[in-house]
Amino acid sequence: MSRPAVSGARRVVVKVGSSSLTTASGGLDPARVRDLVDHLAGVRARGAELVLVSSGAIAAGLAPLAFRRRPRDLARQQAAASVGQGILVHRYTEEFARHGQVTGQVLLTVDDVTRRNHYRNAQRTFDKLLELGAVPIVNENDTVATSEIRFGDNDRLAALVAHLVHADLLVLLSDVDGLYDAPPGRPGSTLLADVHSWDDVTGVEVRGAGSAGVGTGGMETKLDAARIATGAGIPVVLTDTAHAGEALTGAVTGTLFHATGRRRPTRLLWLAHATEPRGRLVLDAGAVRAVTERRASLLPAGVTDVGGSFVAGDPVELVGPEGRPIARGLVNYDAVELPGLLGRSTHDLARELGAAYEREVVHRDDLVVL
């Protein structure tokens, strides 16, 4: 049996977790990297394009820095990632070279997929690398990401990258061979071979990171990633590295999450699924209707209250008069500017304060209704 949505994919994003690349004691395992690349190289060999999102920088940096386990504080994680990322990419470069394939490193922060100019930049870089036949190897730019601007997990990053590069398949490789209806160690838990809609996942019990102590998000972030990708029209296969070969050629293995939705702009996907809002705008009833029913931009006249500390470009939550979240958007003003503008018409504001104040609080193109 085969899965045509998988075997026919022309552009594939594969995400591999730290737990699939490390030894039991936590260091990078060159033999596991080699086995993995032997399978991955098959994608390019059959004429399809490959983007690899690989975790493992922090794990690879532990031993050289004599850290006995993954550090909890951000500064030590950043130091480990800085040391480990070079080691990781060096390993991949050597292994892909054995198959005559060239790799390129791409390190991303949240800004690269949320700020319009940045994500166009990222898109161009990926397009050019793929056009030149190289395999982009992606990781979060851990060494510069602060806790506020951190993805924190590569599962969701991989889903956003899949969308950004217009991939037609996302493969998540972990240390577990698919999604189980309960944590896999539990007697009687069974594998779900197909997930057609999110109703199929109701009742599934998931836990955080696995036993090796090197992974971060566990099954939860994999489900988030699957939700982001399938909701944007990209099917997702979840399995372990031992089944990578089968998964990549479309054999039935692991869990296939079927596509449920269609594409929308990458930064809006990020807004809807993964962003921590930095503030809150309270809307009056008329503005709620305008935003949700007419898909209009949010103007100062419809905002009754502002909370949080944010600057222009930050994600904020839009709530109705009774406090229920209705949308998320990228705001066009700093939090300190807004109180003086609330309830006033753009016409008045422009006349009194200048043309710059004619702008919307949240433009409709930067807004997702929940």
Ligand X SMILES: N[C@@H](CCC(=O)OP(=O)(O)O)C(=O)O
Out of 9, 51, 63, 81, which residue is the one contacting ligand X (CB under 6 A)?
A: 81
**H, E, C per residue of 290-302:** HHHCCCCCECHHH
Residue 154 counted as an annotated binding residue? yes
> Should residue 210 be labelled a site residue for ligand ADP when binding is judged by CB under 6 A?
yes
Task: Tell the smallest beta-carbon distance from residue 246 to ligand ADP (Å).
Answer: 17
Task: Tell the smallest beta-carbon distance from residue 9 to ligand ADP (Å).
Answer: 21
Helix (H, G, I), strand (E, B) or coil at 14: strand
Out of 18, 114, 230, 275, which residue is the one contacting ligand X (CB under 6 A)?
A: 18
Out of 95, 142, 314, 360, which residue is the one contacting ligand X (CB under 6 A)?
A: 142
Residue 15 counted as an annotated binding residue? yes
The residue whose two tokens read 């004691």 is: 25
Are the beta carbons of 2 and 251 closer than 8 angstroms?
yes
> Should residue 174 be labelled a site residue for ligand ADP when binding is judged by CB under 6 A?
yes
Phi, psi of 362 (to 5 degrees): -135, 125
Are the beta carbons of 91 and 35 closer than 8 angstroms?
no
Both tokens assigned to 237: 């296969």
Per-residue interface string for the shown chain with ligand ADP, residues 154-173, x marking contact by CB under 6 A: --------------------
Residue 142 counted as an annotated binding residue? yes
Beta strands in the chain (DSSP E): 11-16, 49-54, 103-108, 135-140, 169-174, 194-195, 236-240, 255-257, 279-283, 303-308, 315-319, 325-331, 362-369
Q: Provide the 8-state DSSP code for 345.
A: -
Beta strand 362-369 with 325-331 is antiparallel
Residue 171: which of 247, 224, 107, 223 has the closest Cα? 247
Angle at 270 between CA 75 and CA 137, to 5 degrees: 60
CB atoms within 10 A of CB 310: 22
Q: Which is nearer to ligand ADP, 182 or 296 (CB)?
A: 182
> Should residue 95 be labelled a site residue for ligand X when binding is judged by CB under 6 A?
no
Helix (H, G, I), strand (E, B) or coil at 54: strand
Q: Which does 139 bind (CB under 5 to 8 A by kind): ligand ADP, ligand X, none?
A: ligand X
Out of 3, 18, 52, 302, which residue is the one contacting ligand ADP (CB under 6 A)?
A: 18
Per-residue interface string for the shown chain with ligand X, residues 22-61, x marking contact by CB under 6 A: ---------------------------------xxxxx--
Q: Which is nearer to ligand ADP, 79 or 179 (CB)?
A: 179
Q: Provide the 8-state DSSP code for 22.
A: B
Residue 270: which of 357, 330, 344 has the closest Cα? 330
Out of 175, 314, 360, 366, which residue is the one contacting ligand ADP (CB under 6 A)?
A: 175
Residue 220 counted as an annotated binding residue? yes
Both tokens assigned to 78: 């950043």
Out of 26, 27, 178, 217, which residue is the one contacting ligand X (CB under 6 A)?
A: 217
Annotated binding site for ATP: 15, 174-175, 216-222
Which residue ranges make up the site for ligand ADP (CB under 6 A)? 17-20, 174-176, 179-180, 182-184, 204-207, 209-210, 215-219
Which residue ranges make up the site for ligand X (CB under 6 A)? 17-19, 55-59, 81, 139-140, 142, 153-154, 215-217
